[in-house]
Structures are given as structure tokens and as C-alpha cells.
Amino acid sequence: MMTIGILTIIVFGMSAFVTDGAKCLNSKDVERFVVVNCAYQEFLSVPSTDILKDVETLNLEHNYISKLFNNSFTEYPNIKNLMLSFNKVHTIEPGALGSLAELETLDLSQNAIKEVPAGLPKSLIQLKLNGNPVLDMWQLETAVGLRVLQLRGCDLKAYPALGIMPNLVNLDVSENAEIYDLDPAQLAVTCRLARLNVTGATNLFRPGTPGAHCRCRRVVQWAHTYKVTVFGLGQCPDPLAGDGETDIHDDPKDEACARTPEQALAAFKECMAEWEHRNTPYWAIVSGIVIVVARVGQMIV
Ligand SMILES: *[C@@H]1O[C@H](CO)[C@@H](O)[C@H](O)[C@H]1NC(C)=O
Ligand SMILES: *[C@@H]1O[C@H](CO)[C@@H](O)[C@H](O)[C@H]1NC(C)=O
């Protein structure tokens, strides 16, 4: 009885927010964020009515939205959390997301997106693209603050070419069975990566592949040195009988087999320099100048 009473209160409480004919449910969550829930409403595009203009969390999951136009969100500049999973999105105009200067979390999982959307705002922290046939990653370059990237089940043919991403700490490339190879240089461009999920990459370092033994050991060595927890990697394969390896780097008896390649160290350095550059606060630079000026001033006096 008690439960039914509470449920009744919740149901009546919520319906109080629903205006006539509206499909979206407007409310404030516990932290007083403005939340609008438009999930499961058969929308074909981002609605321009029914939504509070100061919406911070907008849930558009499970609709039939196929395009995001560059004016789709201009009415809602405060969006921090945009949920668009399980739609039909295949086209995102370059200006569509750029207007969202507060956007922190973007979930575009389970759509038909072939490339990372252009013009991602620099405020973005978390991007979920699970279950999209994404091929092209280069547009990630504008998402300079990105910390979490999910590419689960994206039919990736290879480990994604991310470019230097010093803020990325969490990368999920699980359930991409066709990823067959990985190299420390590919990990080095994400120099502050802490968690990598390769679960379900069943062809990665497949036993019997020439050189897989040494390449796997180099990755394990790198992960150990730079404290990257790799989920789902499993045991490195045994060396091929009679080796059959092409050069000393692939010869399990040679020291080079597990040694970190120079190229990876160079990429790591470049990434760390970029991180310092991006994360040195303005006041540190200014106070550095002030100290130098003061010293010089003393010397002159
Ligand atoms: C938005 O789209 C219109 C029409 O397609 C175009 O003229 C305009 O340049 C676009 N703006 C941005 C910022 O992409
Ligand atoms: C790794 O990915 C698999 C498959 O997507 C998932 O089930 C698992 O929870 C993930 N592990 C971590 C630690 O995130």
C-alpha cells in the first residue's frame, strides 16, 4: 500500500510538469539541473517546441532523428549533456554542435555516423560513439579537452588513428573484432591514457601471426611503464616455431623484441609537451614573468 501511495505521488508529481499536447517531460533533477526528457517520442528532428530553453540535460534517445542541422540546438545554448543514442543520425552539419559552448557529454551511440562530427566544442569531456560505423577520427582535433572516448562495436578495421590527445584518460575500443595490431607509438599519442579496453578484439596479436609475439610484448611493456591498464588483452602469443620473423625487432631472442621504439618515445614527448602547453594556467605564466621581471629589477638596482 505504502509503495502504491508513493508511486501515485511520483506519477502525479511528474505529470504536473507536462503541458497540454507536449511530448517532452520537463523537470529539475536533484542537483537542480534543468532536465528535458524527449525519449521514445518518434521525433524525426530535434523539436523546437516542448523544450525548456534553459535545458541542461536533453534526452532525445530512441527517436528517428536522422540529421542535426547547424541550427538544431541554437535555441538551447546551455546544454551540458546531450543524449541522442538509438536514432538514425547519419548527417551532422559542421555548425550543429559548435554552438554548444557548455557541452560536456555527448552520446551518439547506435546511429549511422561514419565520421567523428566536425566542430566538437572544446568543453566536451565525454564522447560516446558506440555502435556507429565510424572510420574517420581526425575531427577529434577540436575536442581538446576530451577525456573519455567510447568506440565500442564500431567495426573498426584498425586501432583508431587519434593524433595527439593529451587529455584522454579512458578509451574503449572493445568489441571491434578486426583490430589486429597495436604498437606503442599508437598509445604514445595519448600520453595520459590510464584505461584502455580491447575486450573482444579477438584478432589482436593472433597466435601464428609473424611478429605478434614481440609486438605484444612491446605493448605490455609500454602499458606497464606508463601505467595504462589494458582490459581484455590476455596473454601474448608464443613466438612462431623457427621464428620466421622479419627483423631483429621481431626476433624473440633479440633484446629489441620488447624494447620501446624511438618513434613511440618521440610521440610521447610531443604529447606531454602539448599537455603542459594546454594545461599551464595563465596565472602561472604571468607570475613567472613577474618573478623574472622582479629579479632583473633587483639586479639593476
Ligand atoms: C549553417 O547552414 C547554412 C545553410 O546550410 C549555411 O549557410 C551556414 O553557413 C551554416 N553555418 C555554419 C556555422 O556552418
Ligand atoms: C570492456 O568492454 C567490455 C565489452 O564492451 C565490457 O563488457 C567491459 O565491462 C569493459 N571493461 C571495463 C573495465 O570497462
Pocket of ligand 2 contains residue 197 by CB under 6 Å: yes
- Nearest alpha carbon, ligand 2 atom 14: 197
The H-or-E segment that residue 230 falls in is strand 229-231
How far does the centroid of ligand 1 lie from the alpha carbon of residue 47, in Å? Answer: 19
Q: Residue of the nearest CA to atom 11 in ligand 1?
A: 95
28-32, long-range: CB < 8 A, 24+ apart = 29/57
Angle (nearest 5°) at CA 70 between 31 and 41: 55
User: Which of the listed residues 176, 197, 198, 228 should we mutate to test ligand 2's pocket, taking the one with most ligand atoms within 8 A of CB?
Assistant: 197
Distance (Å) from CA 178 to ligand 2 centroid: 17
Distance of CA 91 from the midpoint of ligand 1 (Å):
14
pTM of the model: 0.85
175 lines ligand 2 (CB under 6 A): yes
Sign for the pseudo-dihedral over CA of 70, 72, 75, 77: negative
Ordered DSSP codes for 47-79:
-SSSS-TT-SEEE--SS---EE-TTTTTT-TT-
Cβ proximity of 226 and 194 under 8 Å: no
Q: Is 152 in the pocket of ligand 2 (CB under 6 A)?
A: yes
Cα-to-centroid distance, 231 and ligand 1 (Å) = 42
Task: Tell me, in angstroms, the distance from the centre of ligand 2 to residue 206's CA.
Answer: 20
71 Cα nearest atom in ligand 1: 1
Query: Tens-digit pLDDT profile for the chain (301 aa)?
Result: 444 444 444 444 343 343 334 588 888 766 778 999 999 999 999 998 878 889 999 999 999 999 999 999 999 999 999 999 999 999 999 899 988 999 999 999 999 999 999 999 999 999 999 999 998 899 999 999 999 999 999 999 999 999 999 999 999 999 999 999 999 999 999 999 999 999 999 999 998 888 899 999 999 999 999 999 999 998 999 887 655 556 667 788 788 888 889 999 999 999 999 999 987 777 676 776 777 777 766 766 5
Any ligand 2 atom below 6 A from CB of 27: no
- Which of the 8 DSSP states describes residue 119? T
Residues with C-beta less than 6 Å from any ligand 1 atom? 70, 93-95
